[in-house]
A = this chain, B = another copy of it.
Amino acid sequence: MIYLDNAATTPVRPEVFEEMKPYFTEHFGNASSIYSIAKDSKKAMDKARKQVADAIGAKPEEIFFTGCGSESDNWALKGTADALSKKGKHIITTKIEHHAILHTAEFLEKHGFEVTYLDVDKYGFINIEELKKAIRDDTILISVMFANNEIGTIEPIAEIGKIAHERGILFHTDAVQAMGHVKIDVNKMNIDMLSISGHKLGAQKGIGVLYKRNGIKISQLIHGGAQEQQQRAGTENIPAIVGLGKAAELAVKEMDETNARITKLRDKLINGLLEKIPYCSLNGHPSKRLPGNVNMSFDFIEGESMLLMLDMKGICASSGSACTSSSLDPSHVLLAIGLPHEKAHGSLRFTIGRENTEEDIDYVIETLPPIVEKLRAMSPLYEDFLKKNKQ
């Protein structure tokens, strides 16, 4: 089994799970209680908060644990909208955000907010001049993702942050895919809010973080108890929090080494496939992309078919085809970078993780070409193409 879908989710790292274990059945105290066994929970949580804060150059009190990356995104957008609606009702984001941002923005549009969705170029980059032009007097928030989950493109976050701050506008970034893979410094990059999800970096699913700069007041999304400085209710998920702290620490400590290794694998995979398979192309930027991200389009054939055949050969990947979504449209990201529908439907994403080896990559380079060939042999699009080429 070769797992190449690390952008979808990662296994909990064994070191991380080891740290988590005692907090399920043993040190299970509710962190808000006053008796001494609860102090274990409290201390473990404080440590994790610091680990996460250190990983992004923040202060511990700026780290708010949430129930997932989607919640963090929802909170940042809805919380800002609710808190600042008197100041303005305009929000700027991009066409390539994760649905946790896009669908939240659409929800806000139904509630009287105006949202500008910035275009991106063929690599997936937003245009800084367009961003500047989009800013209005009533713009209250700019939300641009740190790195795209499909094509891995890393946006010019520091630059965007600078512009937002020059104009006195809050800046949020969905760093769910970037966290642990790209260096993040919330101060140098002028980031006011930042979303993290544990399961993308070797921690548990169902744990997220919203970093929120000191002094920024947004409305609560989950009301209730006094947890998380009375800003996010719900009994704290200590084991998951402990795990996320550890995972964040490890990721940052190992980043240079891991990235060097994974980037090599990535480029090997990209080049190997480009070489072996005709009529295929890389989506996203060749170098300004996440270390582990490979996204390619294979002309004349469809993504799910490739995935199924890869799965039969023991390879897990994902695609931008519409196969599992109930809209039949392919990935909005691939369309936004200008791919025609059939190329978007014919895309595959391989996301390389810590555990992948060079042998894995060799195996994919060897396994995919005959699959592509087989599917093309039964594709009416390929037949058509060949006929036209003959003429």
Contact = CB atoms under 8 A, between A and B. Distances in A.
Interface of A: 1, 3, 5, 8-14, 17, 20, 24-26, 28-30, 32-38, 66-71, 73-74, 98-101, 103-104, 106-107, 197, 199, 204-207, 219-226, 230, 233-240, 304, 307-308, 310-311, 316-318, 323-326
A32 B179 CA distance: 22
A234 B68 contact: yes
B224 A100 contact: yes
Contacts of A71: 67, 71, 222, 234
Contacts of A70: 222-225, 233-235
Contacts of A222: 67-68, 70-71, 74, 100
11 contacts: A5-B33, A5-B35, A11-B26, A36-B311, A67-B222, A99-B224, A99-B225, A204-B237, A205-B236, A206-B236, A226-B325
Nearest to A326: B226
B223 A37 contact: no
Contacts of A98: 224-225
A221 B221 contact: yes
A111 to B, nearest CB: 8
Contacts of A36: 311
Contacts of A107: 219-220, 223
B14 A30 contact: no
Nearest to A99: B224
B35 A24 contact: no
A33 B106 CA distance: 25
Nearest to A303: B34
A206 B100 contact: no
Max chain B Cβ within 10 angstroms of own Cβ: one of A3, A17, A30, A67 = A67
Contact of A237 (B24, B206, B238, B304): B206
Given A35-B307, A68-B233, 4 more contacts: A9-B29, A12-B28, A29-B316, A35-B310
Given A204-B237, A316-B37, A324-B34, A74 B223 contact: yes
Contacts of A26: 11
Contacts of A14: 25
Nearest to A225: B99
Nearest to A33: B8
A98 B226 CA distance: 12
